């Protein structure tokens, strides 16, 4: 009896170590991809303007990244369930790298738009495949921490990349595009070489027969409701945050610093909130995080001191840290491994659609008055939190213990 229990414990410990190695490798994959993307992101609009692209078409080109995600994240999820997560990871990284190199070619406005669209599709495929692989490989009771590590890699890349890009400068964009392609190539190496990633990519479903339908349940609908709220808030920030700070008299340094401060809690807190999602009531974490975020949205138009806005920006980031691993845990708990790609694709599509619509609408609303987009987001966020609370009232708040 004791020997049997000891053998089971050893097997579980080995399985957990293999899962940890898989998550570590995927975290590095995501970090390298987002760091490569981040080095060009702040300077890409300037680069496009230098090549004679009109300001209006620059905006369309940058927005095409999100439009591609909106169009391709669910199809990417279907392909993940059909052909596997590993091929989609490799394909997404290769496509992103090739599109980055193609910026060096003699190009037109239409080709710039096409390349940015291709990068958005590739990025969406990598995100869906990585989260589906984590959900497949990691048991429910450790999934919050695992998804948090993926998000940590993403935001470390977002934090480091723009700093490197700013140091190199727009006059050396060729070097930055090449660096992005190299980063994507290096990121693909663990996907090729990792035994853990190969081992967990054998259960991607029946290649021949039709895929079983995705089960749409209360947990999934509540998670999507919260994901839409995150998208609405993100769209407002992307379109209006810098404009709001400028209207309050902030310098360019303060505006840049505010984005850096926003990234810091992700780096230092997201793994802690991932642990919380595995041990505490995930519903309270997600709904509480939305409540924190909407409180800040009410306050932003009434704060007139740029330095205070920079400091309080971290509070909004903490709210996101609470929400994201909790939602991932609820979204994927108890799911069949052959539907995880489509589940992640549906969630990502809803989130990206909200970002796209919100960013477009927020720009127009800001023109009416700076407070309008922020204040109007609050009832929408509150409605989504209430919807999730109603949908989630019968699902377990804490992760079910492993049998």
Condensed to tens digits (0 to 9), the pLDDT of residues 282-307 reads: 999 999 999 999 999 999 999 989 89
The three-point CA angle 97-29-113 to 5° equals 30
Rounded Cα distance, 238 and 241, in Å: 6
pLDDT tens-digit series, residues 30-57: 888 888 887 887 678 778 888 888 877 8
pLDDT tens-digit series, residues 336-347: 888 888 999 999
Which of 24-33, 89-98, 232-241, 329-338 reaches the highest mean pLDDT? 89-98
Check pLDDT > 90 for residue 219. Answer: yes
Residue predicted with more confidence, 33 or 206: 33
With b for 16 or more beta-carbon neighbours within 10 A and e for fewer, the 53-62 pattern comes to beeebbbbbb
Report, in angstroms and rounded to the nearest whole number, the Rg of the chain calculated over CA atoms.
21
Rounded Cα distance, 275 and 243, in Å: 36
pLDDT confidence band for 266 (50 / 70 / 90) = confident
pLDDT given at position 95? 94
Q: Which of 204-213, 238-247, 256-265 has the lowest mean pLDDT?
A: 204-213
pLDDT given at position 2? 52
Q: Which of 9-18, 155-164, 377-386 has the lowest mean pLDDT?
A: 9-18
| pLDDT above 90: percentage of residues in the chain | 30
247: which 2 tokens? 């209207």
Which domains does the chain show, CATH number per domain? 20-204 (1.20.1250.20), 214-403 (1.20.1250.20)
pLDDT given at position 203? 53
| pLDDT above 70: percentage of residues in the chain | 93
Residue predicted with more confidence, 277 or 48: 277
Residues in Cβ contact with 203 at an 8 Å cutoff, skipping those fewer than 6 apart: 136, 337, 338
Closest alpha carbon to 157 in 131, 132, 179:
179
Rounded Cα distance, 272 and 278, in Å: 10
35, 40, 42, 47 alpha-carbon torsion, rounded to 10°: 180
């Amino acid at each position: 009896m004791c020997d049997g229990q000891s053998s089971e414990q050893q097997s579980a410990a080995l399985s957990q170590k293999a899962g940890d190695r898989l998550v570590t490798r995927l975290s590095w994959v995501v970090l390298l991809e987002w760091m490569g993307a981040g080095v060009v992101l702040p300077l890409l609009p300037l680069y496009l303007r230098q090549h004679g692209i009109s300001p209006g078409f620059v905006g369309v080109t940058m927005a095409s990244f999100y439009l591609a995600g909106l169009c391709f994240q669910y199809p990417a999820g279907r392909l993940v369930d059909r052909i596997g997560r590993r091929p989609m990871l490799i394909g997404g990284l290769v496509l992103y790298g090739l599109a980055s190199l193609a910026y060096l070619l003699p190009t037109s406005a239409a080709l710039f738009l096409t390349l940015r669209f291709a990068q958005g599709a590739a990025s969406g495929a990598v995100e869906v495949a990585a989260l589906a692989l984590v959900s497949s490989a990691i048991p429910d009771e450790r999934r919050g921490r695992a998804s948090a590590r993926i998000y940590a890699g993403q935001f470390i890349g977002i934090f480091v990349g723009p700093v490197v890009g700013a140091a190199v400068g727009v006059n050396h964009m060729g070097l930055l595009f090449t660096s992005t392609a190299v980063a994507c190539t290096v990121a693909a190496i663990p996907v090729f070489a990792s035994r853990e990633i190969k081992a967990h990519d054998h259960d991607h479903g029946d290649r021949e027969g039709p895929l079983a339908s995705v089960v749409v349940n209360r947990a999934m609908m509540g998670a999507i409701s919260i994901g839409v709220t995150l998208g609405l808030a993100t769209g407002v920030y992307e379109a209006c945050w810098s404009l709001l700070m400028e209207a309050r008299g902030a310098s360019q340094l303060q505006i840049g610093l505010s984005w850096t401060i926003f990234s810091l809690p992700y780096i230092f807190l997201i793994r802690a909130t991932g642990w919380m999602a595995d041990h505490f009531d995930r519903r309270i974490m997600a709904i509480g995080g939305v409540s924190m975020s909407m409180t800040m949205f009410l306050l932003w138009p009434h704060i007139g001191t740029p330095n205070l806005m920079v400091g309080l920006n971290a509070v909004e980031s903490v709210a996101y840290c609470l929400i994201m691993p909790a939602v991932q845990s609820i979204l994927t708990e108890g799911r069949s491994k052959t539907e995880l790609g489509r589940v992640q694709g549906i969630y990502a599509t809803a989130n990206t659609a909200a970002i796209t619509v919100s960013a477009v609408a927020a720009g127009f609303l800001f023109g009416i008055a700076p407070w309008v987009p922020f204040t109007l987001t609050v009832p929408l966020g509150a409605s989504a939190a209430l919807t999730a609370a109603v949908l989630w009232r019968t699902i377990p708040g804490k992760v079910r213990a492993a049998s």
